[in-house]
Amino acid sequence: MEISELPRPLVIAVDGPSGSGKSSVSREVARRLGLEYLDTGAMYRAATWSVLEAGVDLADQAAVAQAVRDLDLRMGTDPAAPGVHVGSTDVAGPIRETRISSQVSAVATNLEVRAELKRRQRELIEGARDGVRSGVVAEGRDITTVVAPDADVRILLTASEEARLARRARELHGAAEAHHLEATRDQVLRRDRDDATVSSFHVAADGVLQLDSSELDFEQTVQAVLQAIAATVGTRQGDPVSR
């Protein structure tokens, strides 16, 4: 089945550990398929930014959860410009700062926060399914397992720790020498350990396709995801997958 022939609506769920490439690859796949794009990690980052701005103690789980329930969060789902706003503030840049990356897991492991953001994520996914683009690529840690287990295609995108550290180091520091890797270790490997206490994103659940991008470059990874989507949907439609 040709990529351009994929039936709609189409919901694609992509999970994976930090630095596996799920955000950048999912966004490019959404762009090429003409689908919406939902970065659920950005929602947790925006929640963390807002709670810190409000001076809420992250250890006060009840206060954090109430602040997130009250959160005025607007997610842009256009893969060409996926904005993130808290109230009238554009937080797309601030939520990527190391201070957020180093504290987001404290918010993301709050189960009441997860319940609230899962509810919003499901609303956004259903809205995209019924929207003009008739579908979405939603990525994060628990999309294939909790948020959208009935997605048309579910993919776990993984990569070796070495590859993930190097990618994040190049992204943040422009190089992947030993001291760059060491500076990145906390926000990649420690964060994964914390995040894995509330989500499973290292081993594919039943029905989830696992793709390892360790030896693939960015374009090869995008192509692998597109082919997996075509193969999955084509199989369901009974059509052979065209190369």
Ligand X SMILES: Nc1ncnc2c1ncn2[C@@H]1O[C@H](COP(=O)(O)OP(=O)(O)OP(=O)(O)O)[C@@H](O)[C@H]1O
CA angle, 103 then 106 then 107, to 5°? 100
User: Of 42 and 125, which CB lies nearer to ligand LCLUPRNS in the complex structure?
Assistant: 42
Least Cβ distance, residue 21 to ligand X (angstroms): 3
Least Cβ distance, residue 139 to ligand X (angstroms): 7
Stretch of residues binding ligand LCLUPRNS (CB under 6 A), selected from 34-42, 54-62, 65-73, 168-176 = 34-42
18 is in an annotated binding site: yes
Q: What is the DSSP letter of 102?
A: T
Among 105, 110, 213, 221, binds ligand LCLUPRNS (CB under 6 A): 105
Query: Which amino acid belongs to residue 13?
Result: A
Q: Which residues would be at the binding site for ligand X (CB under 6 A)?
A: 16, 18-25, 41, 167-168, 171, 213, 216-218, 221
118 is in an annotated binding site: no
Between CA 123 and CA 7 the distance in angstroms is 21
Among 1, 6, 12, 18, binds ligand LCLUPRNS (CB under 6 A): 18
Closest CA to 214 of 151, 144, 167, 149: 167
Residue count of the chain, please give it: 243
Distance, first Cα to last Cα, the chain: 8
For tokens 């810190």, name the residue. Answer: 52
76 is in an annotated binding site: no
Binding-site residues for ATP sit at: 16-24
